[in-house]
Amino acid sequence: MLILLPPSETKRPGGSKRALDLDSLALPSLAPQRAQVLDALVALSDDPVAAARVLKLSPRQLDEIAVNAAVRGAPTMPAVDRYTGVLYDAMDAASLDAASRRWLARHVMIQSAPFGPVGALDRIPAYRLGAAASLPGLPAMTRVWADAVADALAAASIPFVLDMRSEAYVALGPVPDDVPSVYVRVVTNGADGAVRALNHFNKHAKGALVRRLAQDRPRIASRAGFVRWADAAGFRVREGRSGELDLFA
């Protein structure tokens, strides 16, 4: 099973002195797209006014321009530790034992705008770039990534994909039709009995689910296998819309 997660806008600073190595990242066939996006992101940083506009930075966020300018030589850390925010705080990967972190390395990828999908323990620098950004000199992010990521996933011989990405990041790397997959939508039962999607608790539920998976380290190779594990582990998962599962929070 491969779990696809969204990134987070907020990131932990710092890391080790090992600079970014594009050849070491998961799905190495994406190296040309990664280099292309990074070149455009660094070039944008030469024009602070344009960078602030393109990246939609507030006056308090202008230091992110320097972060992007230094992205190729900046300190790196595992992607699952780099990202912060509700989902990643709930996962709390830094507190997991070594066996659980190795499970994350084998089974989790995080979809990013500058790097495409990266492995949970792939080392990446801090950066500022979202799925909706349009970098000067490049086509839209969907055109940069979608076909290349779909081809890379198709070539990876993945038995089953559990897609927990936000819809903006799904668009950057759609799972090919011939790869068995399911999209997870976090919902709740309202007071009137209606099923409603969640926002903040959506992220928390996804982080808690991935943490439990890493701790249990089950062998899951199908939608049915995931549902069986989730029910046994105390997660309420039910059939949703076509191609989806509802995770109740």
pLDDT digits (tens, 9 = 90+) for 214-232: 999 999 999 999 999 999 9
Residue 198 scores a pLDDT above 70: no
The pLDDT of residue 72 is above 80: yes
Q: What is the pLDDT of residue 144?
A: 97
Residue-by-residue DSSP string for 18-68: PPP-GGGSSSGGGHHHHHHHHHHHHHHTT-HHHHHHHTT--GGGTHHHHHH
What confidence category does residue 141 fall into, taking pLDDT thresholds of 50, 70 and 90? very high
Residue 11 main-chain phi, psi, to 5 deg: -140, 150
Q: Is 92 left (phi over 0), alpha (psi -120 to 50) or beta?
A: left
* 124 has pLDDT over 80: yes
What is the amino acid identity at position 67?
Answer: V
Residues 192-211: what's their mean pLDDT? Answer: 78
Give residue 249's pLDDT: 82
Give which of 112, 109, 137, 134 is closest to 122, Cα–Cα.
Answer: 109
- pLDDT of 202 reads 87
User: Domains in the chain: how many in total?
Assistant: 1
Q: What whole-number percentage of the chain has pLDDT above 90?
A: 91
Could you give the percent of the chain with pLDDT greater than 70? 95
Asked whether the predicted pLDDT for residue 174 surpasses 90, the reply is yes
Listed in sequence order, the residues at least 6 apart from 42 whose beta carbon sits closer than 8 Å to its beta carbon are 68, 69, 71, 72
- Per-residue pLDDT reduced to its tens digit, 78-107: 999 999 999 999 999 999 999 999 999 999
Full-model pTM = 0.94
What range defines the domain where residue 135 resides? 2-248
What's the pLDDT at 20? Answer: 97
